[in-house]
Amino acid sequence: MAKKLGKKARKFARKHLQSAAKRNRKQRSQFVRRPRRGGGGRGDDRSGGDGDEEMPRRAEHNVMNNDDAETLVSGLEFPEDEGELNSDLSDSDGYLSEDSECPYYSDSEGDNVVSDSVVQDGLDGENDKMNTEIKKQKKKLNKLMDKDPKFANYLEKWQSELKSYRSKEDSDDDEMDSVDSDADFSDKIPPNDKILTRKTISEWCQLVAKEPKAPSLRSLLNAYRDACRFGVNSKSPSVQRIRSTEVFYHIITFVLSEADNIFRALLEISDDVNKGKIMNLRSAKKWQTIEPLIKSYLQNSLDLLSQLTDNQILAFVLTRLRASAVLFSAYPSASRRLLKILIRLWASGDHDLSLSSFLMIREVSSLLPESLDLCLNKSYNAYLASSKLVNDRNIHHIDFLTDCLVELYSLDVQKSCERATTSIEQLNAILRQASKTKEKEDLRKVDNWQYINCVNLWVRFLRCNYKDYNMHPLLSSVVQIIRGVAHLFPGTRYLPLRLRLVQMLNELSGCSQMFFPIPSLLFDCLEFGDISQKEQGQKAKVNFSSLLKVPKNLLKSRDFHEECILSAIDVLSSHFAQWCYHVSFPEVATIPLILLKRLHEQTTIESLRRPIKRLIDQVDENKNLVERKRDGVSFSPNDKTSVESFVQDLQADKSSGKISQFYKNVPKKFLR
């Protein structure tokens, strides 16, 4: 018994002693400051919990452990240049010089003033909570000391060392505080330490709106600097000058809404000015006068984006900053920093914020082609980090990220094809290793959402650009990966994965007009035995859109069988609809019809037999129609001109193509 208590005592000491707590705090602070590789927000981590609650075993089958995830990401992501160049805006860190004629007013700020008494009350409440927690910990410590005398001796042994360590650390902290106070605020003391009131800001805004060259513009930009740092550091001048949230919102709203128009009026440039004109304008005397104001605005806007946490305010800020994208293009380092912030927000999980971020990413990338490499690398790695887990809540967001990334890669298709080739080679290497060893660890690197979403990304990229560019080698490699993954995971449990892969082949077939034997990848999984009455009544919600592998306890449930059949009908209908007008449709449909009829005989659930029978009838009718039309022609299948004419005539026939209408009316059970 004493041995067991000793373990608890040592555990308590490691967790709650002051030296250990201080060391843990340092480690945590270092971890927080460390830049994330994928840019994923906290919302991505929280979203994973809901999927585990809805289906307890889903994480076991579909999510890798952390080590495997890191291994996969390091094998798929593109290398990044983490060098941060801030020389463009380095001279805009301090305050702008203000005109002494700029007016200041004092008035009552009402209930929204952040008074010292309110702040003190809040601090007192926090202190009370901390004191209560300390008392609880002391009680636990006393109980442990009473139960285990060895623990009391252990505390006495280290007490002297703790005192010496604390005294040394306090002296070091005092020295650092004195240095920091001299370094941090020597060049950041505001030109005027008067409080910014509503009346003052309103007067400045009216003066600037009437005359952009008004002296109050510099004062307003200094106020904007304070607002961008409001609430970040209690010792900063912004907390001293801004004591009302109403003043904060007034400054932010006016500057973001009017700054771009003000700068364009001062520079005498139009709304459709491009990057070339801006770069030529930088050598003019007019630009030299306005440049400190522009730098201050851009630098403070970047700081605001880095510090804000409210998604609605962030979306508003990004919407207003889009108008100033051409000003960012004059400073490449600022544009690179902006892109990194935007990509992190784009992958955050909030749809409105992601959309606003993507629109500005596209704007900056088109204005600054030299930053396109950084944009593609960062966005691709952020996409991988965001697609570690797919559930019912984030599947549409991941689909949105995929479409956004395809659009970014379509800005420069030639350069993107090189990146796609590199990524596909990485995917191929992982697949070859898994196929060779068949070990669980290697198979897990393929059977996961990051790998499948990465393949899906290049399928979408091919679908959008295949007709306009020569991408046949890339298409062949992707098809090889899809078929390799499908054959690597046989069996009914992997039917959701098979359906997703067949969906990708359908998309590639549609853009390239190449035939792929899709039914052969499905029917070996659609072999069901009889379902007992108990299993027919078993209710278990199954959603294939967020699954790659089905848990064993659902394999014999009725809902699983229904989802399998309806999803297979959806995918097969899409396949038949693509080839229903082709001269070779009878050969395409012969073997699938045999397998569909066999499936119809095996299925005992009446609600499933009806849709299978409808699909059989539609395919059989279309097959007979093409055969009748084909019997009346005399050309050879090698005559491409005659074959194309045959297809056009068949498309013009209103009695043909009923399978296409059937596909449009099929309920889409399988989402991308």
Rounded mean pLDDT for each run of 10 residues along the chain, 672 residues in total: 55 60 51 42 41 40 42 58 52 64 61 41 59 79 78 72 59 42 41 78 89 86 87 60 85 92 86 70 80 91 90 91 88 90 90 93 88 90 90 90 95 91 94 93 92 95 92 94 93 89 93 88 68 52 83 83 85 88 88 89 83 89 87 79 81 69 62 34
Residue 656: the pLDDT is 66
CA 290 – CA 19 distance, rounded (Å): 53
Residue 243: the pLDDT is 80
* DSSP secondary structure letter of residue 309: -
To the nearest 10 degrees (0 to 180), the angle between helices 558-579 and 606-631 is 10
**CB–CB of 509/482 below 8 Å?**
no
CA terminus-to-terminus distance, the chain: 58
The neighbour count for residue 669, using CB atoms within 10 Å, is 19
Residue 289: the pLDDT is 86
CA dihedral (317, 318, 321, 323) positive or negative: negative
CA 259 – CA 264 distance, rounded (Å): 9
Rg of the chain taking only CA atoms, in angstroms: 33
The neighbour count for residue 93, using CB atoms within 10 Å, is 15
Residue 78: the pLDDT is 66
- Enumerate the β-bridge partners of residue 244: 113
Mind giving me the DSSP string for 504-560? HHHHHHHHH------GGGTTTT----PPPHHHHT------GGG-SS--GGGTT-HHH
**CB–CB of 531/561 below 8 Å?**
yes
The neighbour count for residue 48, using CB atoms within 10 Å, is 16
Residue that the structure tokens 């305050």 belong to: 95
CA 476 – CA 498 distance, rounded (Å): 19
**CB–CB of 508/516 below 8 Å?**
yes
Residue 75: the pLDDT is 57
Count Cβ atoms within 10 A of the Cβ of residue 104 and give its class: 0-12 exposed, 13-18 middle, 19 or more buried: middle
b/e map of 167-204 (b: 16 or more CB within 10 Å)?
Answer: eeeeeeeeeeeeeeeeeeeeeeebeeeebbbbbbbebb
Residue 538: the pLDDT is 52
Residue 142: the pLDDT is 80
The neighbour count for residue 66, using CB atoms within 10 Å, is 9
